[in-house]
Amino acid sequence: MDKAYIAVLSFAFLFLLHYILGRKSNGSKGAVHLPPSPPAVPFFGHLHLVEKPLHAALCRLGARLGPVFSLRLGARNAVVVSSPACARECFTDHDVAFANRPQFPSQMLVSYGGTSLVSSSYGPHWRNLRRVAAVRLLSAHRVTGMSGVIAAEVRAMARRLCRAAAASPGGDGAARVELKRSLFELSLSVLMETIARTKGTRSEADGDTDMSLEAQEFKQVVDEIIPLIGAANVWDYLPVMRWFDVSGVRSRILATVSRRDAFLHRLIDAERRRMEEGGDDGEKKSMIAVLLTLQKTEPELYTDQMIIALCANMFVAGTETTSSTIEWAMSLLLNHPAALKKAQAEMDASIGTSRMVTADDVPRLSYLQCIINETLRLYPAAPLLLPHESSADCKVGGYDVPSGTMLIVNAYAIHRDPAVWEDPTAFRPERFEDGKGDGLLLMPFGMGRRRCPGETLALQTVGVVLGTLVQCFDWERVDGLEVDMTEGVGITMPKSVALEAVCRPRAAMRDVLQKL
């Protein structure tokens, strides 16, 4: 018999023995009222139920088991929450107890041993990272100062779309474009400018709608790393799979992380050289420059590794999630042309046709805000949020949750709860008009003390970009076919099929667009 096979059986036996003894030990401590759970398989637990996309699989289980249920995922115990009331309970009554992150092996490989802002455990180190991110890097004042960068990148994107339309083979002034590529490059360019005060470069052969070299490089990193991390990665739950690593998950993660870190090292080194040569932008310092300045006074705290980890978090979180949200919004509008026309009419009435929408306009465009809210309700960028872990015994929905239990909050299910939302799967921006959605739980950026600190920047970017696409262009579906709304897999929720659409500069905005 093959030695590897014998080893697998041995580990399976030991794990099963450990599980049985663990249950007996727990039983001796007294009755524990755990959440309901589906039938489990020895050794694997409920891993056979982990289907992709995971948020949809957990929705189906929640429909059978209720708003709080438990799973045993290999060596880990987890509780899944899928109701607004229980989510509020987790992040208000027990916010401190659930402030930790589970230490996934895959996350350890991409987050410097769990020391990054996203993955670090709750404590002094995390609080310092959070303070730096919220106060030094992503404060309301700094985000307001980024509006000019966002506007410049939006104009550049609009200019490329106009050129593509003018050069269309059919000569009808309409271009077929893959929006995800343009949106990802825009999101990355905004962050490149604000984090490192640098712009992407294009080769001579790049077309008007091709991505810059930096965007291509970083998008490849994101596309490779997202499917390898997250709550649906079975590799994280079975030690035997990590020991043998037949599928090469560890080596694939490390190779991708190496390329990501080389990308970030180049940005940091360039900014350090610029500062040494006397460059100082004062209030407009890049985020890296702010961190390098802090490094001079507290080098033991603001190490290069800490700076790279913070930048990595912001780049990954700020590119994929922002571009995906805008892509989902445009997909929904293309499938609901009446809503698109209504949004254009609002802009024509509120802004006019003599200038492009700005960040200051976005809060006043109530229907555009409704579209954004409805998009985040139906397609939250992180449908399961990021996993939490309990640091103390507590109760959720009347059930006991022991310390060390992983908490999975199914925001996707909460946003589509039929007890809360009328016709929950339908795209109806009007449900948020005139304050009708006030008090209903939307949590696309998380909740509690580990809520995403980049929310303000993300919403500003989404608002200006989506507003520009709606205001400046007429959009049609390719060949008149319904846009495919199939959901992809990963820690975020990308579209399974990238959005392609036909765009044509709006006649009413022609004079403005010609001046770009």
Cα(516)–Cα(512) distance, rounded to whole angstroms? 7
Whether 452 has a binding-site annotation, put simply, is: yes
Among 8-17, 145-154, 331-340, top mean pLDDT goes to 331-340
Q: Which of 373, 278, 271, 360 is nearest to 329 (CA)?
A: 373
By the 8 A CB rule, do 150 and 461 touch?
Answer: yes
Cα(40)–Cα(78) distance, rounded to whole angstroms? 13
Q: Which residue has the higher pLDDT, 355 or 250?
A: 355
Compute φ and ψ for 70, nearest 5 degrees. -115, 155
Q: Please name the amino acid found at residue 215.
A: A
The pLDDT value given to residue 489:
80
Contacts of 197 (CB under 8 A, 6+ apart): 271, 274, 281, 285, 286, 288, 289
The pLDDT value given to residue 211:
62
Confirm whether pTM is higher than 0.85: yes
Place of tokens 């271009």: 175
Domains with residue ranges and CATH for the chain = 32-514 (1.10.630.10)
Q: Residue 515: enclosing H or E segment and its boundaries?
A: none
Each residue's pLDDT tens digit, 49-62: 888 889 999 999 99
Each residue's pLDDT tens digit, 303-312: 999 999 999 9
Q: Which residues pair with 477 in a beta bridge?
A: 501
Each residue's pLDDT tens digit, 434-453: 988 888 999 999 999 999 99
Cα(451)–Cα(443) distance, rounded to whole angstroms? 9
